[in-house]
Amino acid sequence: MARYLITGIAGFIGSTLARALVEQGHAVRGIDNLSTGSLDNLAEIRSSIDFQQMDLLDAAGMRSACEGIDYVLHQAALASVPRSVKDPLASHESNVNGTLNLLIAARDAKVRRIVYAASSSAYGDQPTQPKQEAMSPLPLSPYAVQKLACEYYIQSFYRSYGLEGICLRYFNIFGPRQAADSPYSGVIAKFTTTMMAGQTPTIFGDGLTSRDFNYVENAVSANLLACLAPSSVATGRVFNIGTGESHTLNEVYAAIAGQLGFTAEPIYGPPRAGDIKHSLADIRRATDELGYQPKARFHEGLRKTVAWYLAEAEKKAPAAR
Ligand code: UD2
């Protein structure tokens, strides 16, 4: 049994990680400021974890949260490219200052390793596909810069203080529990719930924008593998966590519409500021060095995700049917 601290535990990735670790019999502590996460996501495991409502910027809180911890899985962030374009300072505070605060606490508490939720947005306008970790980053949005800055901090904390770290560059993670109620929600959560409400989603751009959409269970397995990897790879190195396949927004729209029996054609709007056009991961480094295999494929993950939103809606409004 190991002791884990999950930051952002009430978010959809953090809570999915927590359920997996509790199931394996590990001790799980989690923090979340509940700004975008929800305690509903922790309902089934609330009594099995040590949850504390806390902000990453709370230095004393971070010190106590890291006490006695083996592995920190750092998922907390003010996510979203457009949010960072609108308010770069607020997302910088959480994503960069918050992470630095956590790193200092993790260093002082002598945790064994930190695994960081980095972002594929770091590649920005790199024209070559698929994206490989050795490419120079070309971040476009403030969010991409913030996520990249923290990769460098993780590397620096290894070099300066010997704190082991691994950066997992997530490629568009989706799945059950992804928040759908904000203008900054991920596209799959947004399209699904918009169609379920009988409204037509808007595709920003021409619909040919593509992403390597990766089901959340694959991100969970990447985190667990990153904890087990030998110290020689935990030197602040970066790993792409995608699937190696990409899908256009038109394909995503059609797949969700097909599952929901939604027949309206999409509305097309202007492209979103800060967006990159195509994103596809080369996952060989993660496969070779972490043993990562994206077992859940896109369509299977999408089926499970849409089914989850349908089941939730059913739970909330059984009488309305
Ligand atoms: C970025 C990162 C991702 C993760 C995420 C966290 C890239 C390639 N990916 O995801 O790894 O860090 O940020 O927030 O940078 N869209 C619509 N209609 C909508 C909503 C979105 O067309 O109503 C489009 C959006 O313009 C974009 C695509 O869908 O082209 C995906 O958007 P998203 O917000 O789900 O994720 P993205 O790619 O910004």
115 in any annotated domain: yes
pLDDT at 321: 52
53 vs 9: CA distance, rounded Å: 10
pLDDT at 172 over 90: yes
Question: Is there a contact between 113 and 154 (Cβ–Cβ < 8 Å)?
Answer: no
pLDDT at 291: 98
251 in any annotated domain: no
Give residues (CB < 6 A) around ligand 1: 79-81, 119-121, 170-172, 186-187, 190, 201-204, 209, 211, 249, 272, 275-276, 279
194 in any annotated domain: no
pLDDT at 317: 83
89 in any annotated domain: yes
Q: Relative to the CA of 169, which ligand 1 atom is closest?
A: 11
The preferred substitution site among 95, 121, 195, 243 for testing ligand 1, maximizing ligand atoms within 8 Å of CB, is 121
Model confidence at 318, pLDDT cuts 50, 70, 90, reads low
pLDDT at 316: 87
254 in any annotated domain: no
Residue-range definition of the domain harbouring residue 156: 3-177+213-244+279-296
pLDDT digit string, tens, across residues 196-251: 999 999 999 999 999 999 999 999 999 999 999 999 999 999 999 999 999 999 99
148 vs 280: CA distance, rounded Å: 18
pLDDT at 320: 55
Residue of the CA atom closest to atom 2 of ligand 1: 121
Half-sphere exposure (CA, 13 Å, Cβ side) for 99? 29
Identify the residue whose tokens are 């993780």: 154
pLDDT at 135: 97
Report yes or no on whether pTM surpasses 0.95: yes
Average pLDDT over every residue of 268-279: 94
pLDDT at 125: 84
Cα–Cα distances (Å) from 167 to 103, 158, 203, in that order, read 13, 12, 31
Helical (H) or strand (E) element with 232: none
DSSP code for 137: P
Reading the block at residue 103, the tokens are 């790193």
pLDDT digit string, tens, across residues 61-100: 999 999 999 999 999 999 999 999 999 999 999 999 999 9
pLDDT digit string, tens, across residues 117-147: 999 999 998 889 999 999 999 999 999 999 9
224 in any annotated domain: yes
pLDDT at 288 over 70: yes
36 in any annotated domain: yes
183 in any annotated domain: no
Q: What is the mean pLDDT of the chain?
A: 97
Residue of the CA atom closest to atom 10 of ligand 1: 172
Question: Is there a contact between 85 and 196 (Cβ–Cβ < 8 Å)?
Answer: no
Burial class (CB in 10 A: 0-12, 13-18, 19+), 316: exposed
Identify the residue whose tokens are 């300066």: 160
The domain total for the chain is 1
3 vs 25: CA distance, rounded Å: 10
CA of 19 to the centre of ligand 1 (A): 26
At 35, which CATH number?
3.40.50.720
pLDDT at 319 over 90: no
Q: How far is CA 11 from the centre of its chain?
A: 9
